[in-house]
Structure 1
């Protein structure tokens, strides 16, 4: 009871900032003897929420399953699965073409050096504030080709750059291998096996896409959200996101031993704050300057630009999922999970 009250207080401190209008938090442990859920602004554990980049974990699962089945290798050249015309001119750095040297590992670990069409160039993120729009995979690739890569692909180095196109490309690779649209692959490999009845990749007007807050403005962007399929287009609930997160880390979706091979973390661009990136998921070290070196251990999982989050804190066996639904302040979700992890007494 005491710890539940402590968690609730930390949640209320975040929602009391008067920049958050609706939110939900669900915290559990593996055994199930820790379970606390808090809602705000009418949001509750079964309310639909936009996953944004937290849905990258779904794409990661599919890649890992195909890897485990021997249907692809992380060392595979992306060109093995993607048409030459799509790749040509995608990664040209200092006059040299690296497009056909990119590997699946480069994409998964965010070490491709490719720029992010969502934050750079025509800036899709800003466009989201003014209109609902649809963008195809081919258009994402063309937008990326207009931008300058940040470095040559170099998975052995310490460089990483967070870019949505890495996951969009992996989504395309998955579809080519499976011969199915991504929504069917997710259903086959994740939603069905875990019994997720309210988690989906929206494909039409029959699917609910929740509104997103930008400051105090409510935005309805079903076309845009539906476009970012492999990099952040899924809808779920806190309850089902918790089921998935536990499945991700407890071996229900792929052998746990694969996580050890993915645990090579690199610092991302400055705008990503304390986040490091491993093989398809984020790592947030808690013993760092950001916590005045008062924290211990690490958070593993993912967050999204809408304020969604799904993180596991192995040191205290704590799973934390939820949504702050605030496009203007996505960093609030990271601050909240760091506070929860450090403040919870196991």
Structure 2
């Protein structure tokens, strides 16, 4: 059974990396106990090679929020006005002629139900388009200013609505710093890196911190300032080996109270461009029993992917974790497709 499973995993990964779009990659699959383990690298990328977590960093931010919730240092019902000056929030959410900027809560940010626009993907000044062409640093205030130029998509907490926007997690990162009186890098160390004894996982803060190249189509680009700007929404560096350790801890209840986590069941489908993905409690859920799999799958993947090809998912039905990286910014759907195929073949 194990040999058959490893063969299938290898075949799926080989097919994914045979694409002209993929120049390097790594896959690591394990069950909770670790008695089943499979890994494979491509193009020189291996288990201990640095990889950009990109939006998987949101799971780190979620971890800190849930740990602080457990400690009673914040509430998901807290209005963001508790943590930000009036001048910072003013004008960021005006929808249908009404201003909702001062009505936003931590929960709205964590569940991606604020309705705020996404400066990474949207507008003529989208950070993604600019980042492909040049390296630049953006402050939190800069991001807020860009949000003000875009239109929100719905009023906060509109029934069955969710919209994926980095600014939600950028704001959560600022809140973590204010509540803990630590930098975000220090908070990640305290709540994640040190408890799990991770040696190669960090949030880059200066030019001396190593940042790996990202591929955009056939070009390897180096964007340290851009990555350092991403912080709570997408700035962490790790390895496949250490990402596996984190994922097991995240879903195993080793970093915060699992019962608390499981009491947060609100999930809504994201915008159409995000495919079959639902969002809630600070992570993605991808059902495998829908049209995209021709109703042939079972259960769901839980975790996160990144726009640069990173992926980290748990598939409870087979108790398998899939983590790794395809390092391709030109097609953010690739890691989602790969993760779904891996799950479908191991059911």
Tell me whether 1:51 sits opposite 2:53 in the alignment. yes
Tell me if the contact between 2:66 and 2:261 (Cα under 8 Å) persists in the aligned partners. no
Deviations 1:38-77 (A, max 9, x none): 0000000000000110110000000001111111110110
Aligned to 2:147: 144
Q: How many Å separate the matches in 2 of 1:8 and 1:101? A: 49
- The Cα shift of 1:255 comes to 1.4
CA contact (8 A) 1:28 1:319 kept: yes
- Pair 1:22 & 2:24 matched: yes
Identify unmatched segments of 5+ residues in structure 1.
Answer: none
Alignment match of 2:235 (pick from 228, 233, 248): 233
Taking structure 2 as the reference length, the TM-score comes to 0.98
Following superposition, the deviation at residue 261 of structure 1 comes to: 2.3
Q: Is 2:271 aligned against 1:269?
A: yes
RMSD: 0.8
Question: SS of the counterpart of 2:194?
Answer: helix
Does the 8 A contact of 2:303 with 2:314 survive in 1?
A: yes
Q: Which residue is 2:317 aligned to?
A: 315
Report runs of 4+ in structure 1 exceeding 4 Å deviation. none
**Is the partner of 1:134 in helix, strand or coil?**
coil
Give, in whole Å, the separation in 2 of the partners of 1:38 and 1:57.
24
Q: What residue is the counterpart of 2:78 in the other structure?
A: 76
CA displacement at 1:308 relative to structure 2? 0.3
Are 1:166 and 2:168 matched, yes or no?
A: yes
> Which of 133, 136, 142 is 2:136 aligned to?
133
Which structure 2 residue ranges, 5 or more long, are not aligned? none
Where does residue 123 of structure 1 map in the other structure?
126
Task: Check whether the contact 1:262–1:280 (CA below 8 A) recurs between aligned residues.
Answer: no
Q: Which residue of 2 aligns with 1:106?
A: 108
CA displacement at 1:18 relative to structure 2: 1.7
1:338 and 1:61 mapped to 2: Cα distance? 24
State the SS of the aligned residue for 1:159.
coil
Aligned to 2:282: 280
Task: Give the C-alpha shift of residue 95 in structure 1.
Answer: 1.4
8 Å CA contact 1:10, 1:340 repeated in 2: yes
Correspondence for 1:186 among 185, 188, 201: 188
What is the match of residue 217 of structure 1? Answer: 219
Structure 2: distance between partners of 1:153 and 1:162? 13
1:12 equivalent in structure 2: 14
The C-alpha deviation readout for 1:144-178, integer Å capped at 9, x for no partner, is: 011110111016x1000000000000000111111
What is the number of residues matched between the two proteins? Answer: 344
Deviations 1:98-123 (A, max 9, x none): 01100000000000000001111211
Contact in 2 for aligned 1:59/1:230 (Cα 8 Å): yes
1:233-252 residue CA offsets vs partner (Å, 9 max, x unmatched): 00000000000000000011
* Deviation sequence 1:184-211 (CA, Å, 0-9, x none): 1101111011111100000112211000
The secondary structure found in structure 2 opposite 1:339 is helix
Q: 2: distance between equivalents of 1:33 and 1:194?
A: 19
State which of 329, 337, 340 in structure 2 corresponds to 1:335. Answer: 337
Question: What is the CA–CA distance in structure 2 between the aligned matches of 1:118 and 1:3, rounded to whole Å?
Answer: 38
Give the corresponding residue for 1:60: 62
Superposition TM-score, scaled by structure 1 size:
0.98
2:261 aligns with 259
Whole-angstrom CA distance in 2 between matches of 1:19 and 1:162: 25
Structure 1 residue 263: deviation in Å?
Answer: 2.8
1:133/1:223 contact within 8 Å kept: yes
In 1, the alpha carbon distance for the partners of 2:207 and 2:199 equals 18
Question: SS of the residue aligned with 1:310?
Answer: strand
Q: Is the contact made by 2:170 and 2:231 (CA closer than 8 Å) also made in structure 1?
A: yes
Distance (Å, rounded) in 1 between the aligned partners of 2:79 and 2:234: 24
